[in-house]
Copies of this chain bind each other. A is one copy, B any other.
Amino acid sequence: MNWVEFKRKKLEILERAKEKREVDEDIIPLLDTINSFDCFVTTSSCSGRIVVLDVPKIGDKLNAKFLGKWHRTVDWKEVAKALEKSTSTTWLISDPPIVHVACRDLECARILMRIANESGFRRCGIISLNRFVVEITSFEKLEAPLAVNGKIVVDEGYIKLLTDFANEKLLRGKEKLERLKSKLSSRKSFLRAL
């Protein structure tokens, strides 16, 4: 499949996902900006999230269960409520944004990585060489246990504190997305010419 066709198919998938409201709203303006350049097309992306995750065994993603998942800041009571459903080891996790962008060629990937780095995303890399997929992400992370064997191990005060930090980290990630969008827009004519 050539690049133009590949990009068209990816955009169709994105449009269908948008219609079904499956795309994290906060990231849509950035995705639209990236996709406005011929040499890039976004694939799965997330603006960052806060989750309450029940994990039977460390690393066992297959059997992990979301007790709560938000792409926005949360109130500590929402976390506490999700935690009530704990059955095993439950974690509060704040994940940074992850943006995936397929690039037409290696040079375009190099340029995108540089711009993302300058926007504060310190963790950028080409994760697939088939379509030169650049992963753009950063280090804002919180990952703390809330319950073990379904038994809550933190008090209300600590849940509030963790929630505050989780929110702060989430917002920092979202600021970086804004910065990336601005930087791409400010180099519009350069990127259009690629």
Copies of chain A in the complex: 2
Contact B140 A142 (CB under 8 A): no
Considering the complex, which residues of chain A in the window 104-132 have a beta carbon less than 8 Å from any beta carbon of chain B?
A: 106, 109-110, 113, 123-127, 129
Contacts of A142 in B (CB 8 A): 143-144
Contact A145 B126 (CB under 8 A): no
Contact B165 A58 (CB under 8 A): yes
Contact B158 A154 (CB under 8 A): yes
CB of A25 within 8 Å of the partner chain:
no
Considering the complex, which residues of chain A in the window 34-64 have a beta carbon less than 8 Å from any beta carbon of chain B?
A: 58-59
B-contact bits for A49-91, CB 8 A (1 contact / 0 none): 0000000001100000000000000000000000000000000
Min CB–CB distance A132 → chain B (angstroms): 10
CB of A191 within 8 Å of the partner chain:
no
Known interface pairs A144-B144, A145-B161; 9 further A-B residue pairs with C-beta atoms within 8 A, sorted by A's residue number:
A58-B168, A59-B172, A106-B129, A110-B129, A123-B127, A125-B125, A125-B127, A143-B144, A145-B165
- Where the two chains meet, the residues of A that have a C-beta atom closer than 8 Å to any C-beta of B are 58-59, 106, 109-110, 113, 123-127, 129, 135, 140-145, 148, 153-154, 157-158, 161-162, 165, 168-169, 172
